[in-house]
Amino acid sequence: MENDHTTMLFLIMGGGTLLLATEVRAVTRSLVGHLELQLFLLEMLATFQLCACFGMLHPLAQLENHTQLYLGHLYSFLTMHFLLTLSESISNPTCILLDILQKGISMKQGGLKIVAQFIGAFLAKLYQNAVWFVGISNLFPHPQECSNPLKTYFLKALCTELVTSITFQFTVLESQSQEIRVRANVLSLTITSLVYAGGHLTGAIFNPALAFSLHISCFAEPEKFWNYLLVYWVAPCIGSVLVFLVWDEILPLLHRQR
């Protein structure tokens, strides 16, 4: 019964955060006329929404025998998130890097988007810390404690984040022509499936901004910094480069040789 109350509490907080971020984005669209500033703020707010709501749901994964419930709620939240933000933001720096490599956006635009995403991720962490200080639930990790999400040896963790990043980015590219409501469900199902497959190893985050928001205290520990940097930042970015090479170079070459 206590776990049921805890689950409901986290869902209410996640839903409230989603509504709050949605309203702030709507106000931003109406009040900010400068296009570049508006895009920067919308990117920041979308990433804040993703990281903050993910942070609200993440403790549910720690509840015993609640894995399927957590994955179901994660899928529902991600679908809502993408329906609300996908036309403006993907909330993942690796996808921005891929867009830069494909010359879909300039280095300057891409750099600003990535900066906005990390600012949004940091604000989400401050938001989660505020929730912890209120003392709503003891399942929220202490802001200064590293939750040690790496549950396997380094090379396997590196490969997990690399493979999940590649899979997600191929899905992003393959779903580009679909309408938003279909694409939102496809991306949400992909992420949920990857979390199910690799979550017990690394969390299957494959998003440097989200990893920064969830595990900033781990990055702050000198003896863990390089492992976390390589697993959660470098590996997904290598995935972007590999996806670019396959999608834009190898596949077109094979197609021409037919």
pLDDT tens-digit series, residues 176-214: 999 999 999 999 999 999 999 999 999 999 999 999 999
CATH, residue 245: 1.20.1080.10
Higher pLDDT, residue 40 or 257: 40
Mean pLDDT of 232-243: 98
Please state the domain count of the chain.
Answer: 1
pLDDT at 136: 67
In a 10 Å sphere around its CB, with 0-12 CB exposed, 13-18 middle and 19+ buried, how is residue 139 labelled? middle
Cα dihedral sign, 187-92-252-241: negative
- pLDDT for 33 equals 84
Domain span holding position 164: 2-257
46-102: pLDDT as tens digits:
999 999 999 888 877 776 566 788 899 899 999 999 999 998 898 999 999 999 999
Mean pLDDT of the chain: 90
pLDDT at position 233, please?
Answer: 97
Check pLDDT > 60 for residue 2.
no
Phi-psi label, residue 153: left if phi above 0, alpha if psi -120 to 50, beta otherwise = beta
Distances (CA, A) of 50 to 45, 85, 105, 122, 213: 9, 10, 22, 12, 10
Q: Residue 61: CB partners within 8 Å, gap ≥ 6?
A: 67, 70, 199
* Alpha-carbon separation of residue 103 from 110, 148, 252 (angstroms): 10, 37, 16
pLDDT > 70? residue 138:
no
Q: What pLDDT does residue 125 have?
A: 93
Give the pLDDT band (50/70/90) at residue 139: low
| pLDDT reported for residue 6 | 66
Tokens standing for 24? Answer: 């702030």
Where is average pLDDT lowest: 8-22, 114-128, 232-246?
Answer: 8-22
Nearest to 247 by CA among 38, 63, 104, 54: 104
Instruction: Please state which of the ranges 11-15, 33-37, 140-144, 155-159 shows the lowest mean pLDDT.
Output: 140-144
Q: What percent of the chain has pLDDT over 90?
A: 66
Do 61 and 199 form a contact (C-beta atoms < 8 A)? yes
